[in-house]
Amino acid sequence: MKLKNKNVLFTGAAGDIGRATVKRFLAEGARVMMADWDEKALSEFANTLSGEVGYIQVDVSRMEDNQKMVEATVERFGGIDVFVANAGIEGKVSPIDECSLEEFNRVLSVNVSGVWAGLKAVKAVMKERGGSIVITSSGAGVMGSPNMMPYNSSKHAVIGLMRCAAKEFAPFNIRVNTVNPGPLDSRMMRSIEDGYAPGSSGEFKQALEQMTPMGRYGRADEISGMMLFLASEDASYCTGGVYMVDGGNSC
């Protein structure tokens, strides 16, 4: 088992990538504290799981909630070996002249400030024993997209956070990397499709699949495989990396 007796704190655990990866981590022997803003979804998901798992409702844009989830994980499991900063929102699809500063800040407060606050909260605990931090970025973190400026900017920004943290945390044997998914069969992607092509989202999806070298959307379980690799000792010399899982979409 690749994560036997490892303690994991996982944000955005109730989403598509979160669910697939939490299941995989538990199957590999991890103990997992799930964090998400949607307490009902967390509770329902937790009831389907076996293994050592807990959950906590948080708003990652709030520093105090990040401290709370770290403290809850330490209290429950005794420490943190792996932190997955996966929480994120897509925001609205709109050109910049129709996007308010409030909307821009709303997306960045979750997707960027939430990651920064998580890194700040978890460092003091993880530096005692080392470990791995995995941040969910996106294919949008290495490419531009029209009408998605808040989201794309946020996913570029977390790569910068990751690279700084990789150097700052390395003396404590903490590795930090991003996983960058391409288009997935997921709730978020359906929202983006509807935003770009109201009433014809199926045609938009088909066009995007045709632009992807592998000719299809990815699956959440395909992202979980990369997250497992980076969380495990298989990636013991990997830090500061941007790991694309996008079917060649960013080529």
Ramachandran angles phi, psi of 91, nearest 5°: 75, -175
Q: pTM here?
A: 0.96
pLDDT at 194 over 90: no
- 126 and 141: one domain? yes
Tokens standing for residue 44 = 């329902």
Domain that holds residue 200: 184-217
The pLDDT of residue 11: 99
Q: How many domains does the chain have?
A: 2
Q: Which residues are catalytic?
A: 151
User: What three-state secondary structure class fits 3?
Assistant: coil
Tokens standing for residue 115 = 């990651």
- 137 and 121: one domain? yes
Per-residue pLDDT, averaged over 63-83, amounts to 99
Spatial CA neighbour of 130 closest among 6, 225, 12, 23 = 6
Q: Which of 100-114, 166-180, 205-219 has the lowest mean pLDDT?
A: 205-219
- 178 and 190: one domain? no
- 205 and 226: one domain? no
- 36 and 160: one domain? yes
- 80 and 193: one domain? no
Q: Which residues lie below 8 Å from residue 115, measured CB to CB, with a gap of 6+?
A: 60, 85, 135, 158, 161
Residue 1 lies in a domain: no
The pLDDT of residue 73: 99
The pLDDT of residue 201: 80
Residue 213 lies in a domain: yes
Residue 2 lies in a domain: no
